[in-house]
Amino acid sequence: MTEPPEEDPQKRRTQPRRRVLLSGKLVYGEPPMTLDCAISDFSKSGARVRLPGPEALTEPVYLIDVRHGLAFRSREIWREGNRVGLSFTAYYDLRTPPPELPKIIRQIWVEQIR
């Protein structure tokens, strides 16, 4: 994946970003694989996550915000070491998931909140 562009990220960003420290789960690839991550920046249009290592994320990619019960279909925009920038293409409330959301996404969230 590409490195973050050198221009000021605030100028490119369409939504304001806020710093957070949330537990997350990434679900990616076919068949689906999971990976713990830390969500460090968040906006309506994307997030920056920290991974435990240099794992390659293959599509489809879903970011699960465990605390808020939300999942975001995402795509990797940039990568710098173990930090990855994600752009959201859709989001889902895991309390009332739509039929098009893969069942494993909600199952993983339910396991995390038990």
Question: What single string gives the DSSP state of each residue in the chain?
Answer: -PPPPSS-HHHH-SS--EEEEEEEEEEETTTTEEEEEEEEEE-SSEEEEE-SS-PPP-SSEEEEETTTTEEEEEEEEEEETTEEEEEEEEEEETTS--TTS-HHHHHHHHHHH-
Assigned domain for 6 exists: no
Domain interval for residue 33:
15-109
Q: Is this structure's pTM higher than 0.75? A: yes
Q: Which two three-digit tokens encode residue 57?
A: 């994320």
What tens digit of pLDDT does each residue of 27-57 get? 999 999 999 999 999 999 999 999 999 889 9
Question: Is residue 114 situated within a structural domain?
Answer: no
In a domain, 3, yes or no: no
Q: Is residue 19 part of a domain?
A: yes
Please tell me the predicted confidence (pLDDT) of residue 14.
65
User: Is residue 90, in this structure, part of any structural domain at all?
Assistant: yes
How many domains, in total, are found in the chain?
1
d(CA 56, CA 54): 6
- Check pLDDT > 60 for residue 11: no
Q: Is residue 76 part of a domain?
A: yes
Structural domain contains residue 10:
no
- Provide the CATH number for the domain around residue 25: 2.40.10.220
Lowest mean pLDDT among 9-13, 54-58, 102-106, 109-113: 9-13
User: What is the tens place of the pLDDT at every residue in 67-97?
Assistant: 999 999 999 999 999 999 999 999 999 999 9
Within a domain: 7: no
